[in-house]
Structure 1
Amino acid sequence: MPNKQKRTVISVIGPTAVGKTEISLQIAKQFGGEIISGDSMQIYRGMDIGTAKIKLSEMKGIPHHLLDMKDPCESFSAAEFQKIVRKKIEEVHRRGHLPILVGGTGLYIQSVLYDYQFSDAPADFDFRKKMEEYVQAGQAMGLYNQLRSIDPEAAKKIHPNNHRRVIRALEIFYCTGKTMTEFQKSQQNIPLYNDVLIGLTMEREKLYHRIDQRVDKMIEEGLVEEVRDLIKKGVNLECQAMKAIGYKEIFDYLEARISYDQAITLLKKHSRNYAKRQLTWFRNKMNAHWFDLDDEREYCKKIAEILAFIAGKLEIKSNN
């Protein structure tokens, strides 16, 4: 990224179900913006309900990017996201518009906004292939336990069923002798953009209630049928996308591994746990200006406050 002139990027971050979509639309409308999804799963076609992907009818004429670019069995990484989004930011600016990066996948957003170097951790495809053979042989939990002994901090952040990330963490240690955690801590958070970073938060019990309501709505809108259609198209747990929260639980139900009620209970629980991890990541890794959305009666006032904050920041940037 050339340093001669930093581009301005507005980012809206926060946990799942906090209300990022609606507020990002308000920001885009006010400042002539285009929205770039910062969600690692909305990139996949056919995965709409479970990812809470915005519908065309809800976009209010605002251009949206990084939706429906991959088939569910295609791999997608933070490094690929970083490359695509940085290019998209340049395209949006060339059109004279303001890029608005919106999402809850912390590493993905961090990798775009800061000088995050993925190339520091090399790949060993022979090692990766060997580890994938262990997974195929039913030894995935053994690999996860190995990661827990090598890098317990990384293991806490990676679900045991996310075999791709488990293998990658082991691969980094195998290739370099340094853990994934050590690599992440060595990253220099040098901002590449004039970023206006908006964080949205909410009292935990209120947020958890919203998450439960969202899951109920997903079920009403046809999440079970969406997963069933994906299975008919050949999507299974070997595909990276099917490990996403909302899909793994319903997949297990459809495969008769758990009951319907268990699937819903787990989906809500996993979503709440994910929201907690998101907040921890954002607060520890990113210097956002946080806005509390607890009081629904003050919602319009809070949006006005957010828009005024951004306007002030943009004025400061333009004067520098």
Structure 2
Amino acid sequence: MSALTRARTVEAAASAQPAPSARPSRRQEARRDRRRRFRRDWTLLLLLLPGLLYFLIFHYGALAGYLIAFQDYVPFLGVDGSEWVGLANFAKIFADPAIWQAFANTLQISALQLTFFFPAPIALAIFLHSIQFEFIRKFVQNVVYLPHFISWVIVVALFQQVLGATGILNNWLADGGLGIIDVIGNPAAFKPLVVAQIIWKDCGWGTIIFLAALARVDEQLLEASAIDGAGWWRRLWHVTLPSLRPIILLLFILKLGDILTVGFEQLFLQRDSVGPETAEVLDTFVYFSGVIGGNWGYATAVGLIKGLLAAILVYAANKTAHRLGEQGLFR
């Protein structure tokens, strides 16, 4: 067989063999991986569906209601029949002294909450974690968790029974011939009282996340620092708190998103005792202006600006966290 014939035979055999299958692209691999994970986790996704529908309908779907911020909205006429006023409701905000008073009260209460309430669960969690006897620790945890499940109606009533003009404290002072101290009706003491109430009610519940984070603190680092002569305070400052820093920063960013939401029910129940000049916040202002006063478009405009400011604060805090080398809430 000549060389030319052998070359043609090899070429024909090579062409007869099936071509190797092309490797799947990166997009195809990702699609297959998603299908595989869906088949594996479909039961978990089904359990997630009710909560997802709740947020889609009552949180994201409700965003369409912000359309009435640009209308002179009348409930009986609906969105289609109400008059469009453009930015008139937003212009009205800057000329209304009542909204600025409510805004100032909101910021003051939020500043007090960030200063005193936000670190309170951290300190309480560290204290609970330091208790050596498990029985005592669980007992204290159950006691401090309990107020979280009490409604604000009962909490406010309890504080009124203790600190009100005819409460236990003033009855005790009257029996001793001393003067009466009306803490509940005192405008100067109202904002610190509001912070004290939320600390008493939710401080214990807020320790749950920090207790879980404390359980992940490296015990070897604590033991090594103790061997090196570090006292309790130095171990706390250089080992424990740096381990809690990511979760503290995450919760702080989330708290900034709620900085203009200081608790509607709590403030609403005590508003009349000190007057709107002291107790009116943005949430109660929206309720009394919109639901009670009928200024639906104006109240919605206030709520829209409040939401935009909260989103800006969260975004700015998240960017700051990234610059400090932390993960933050989102990329």
TM-score range (shorter-chain normalised) is under 0.3
User: Which protein, 1 or 2, shows the higher relative CO under an 8 Å CA cutoff with sep ≥ 6?
Assistant: 1
TM-score by length of 2: 0.24
TM-score by length of 1: 0.24
Where is the helix percentage greater, Structure 1 or Structure 2?
2
The structure number with the bigger radius of gyration is 2
Where is the strand percentage greater, Structure 1 or Structure 2?
1
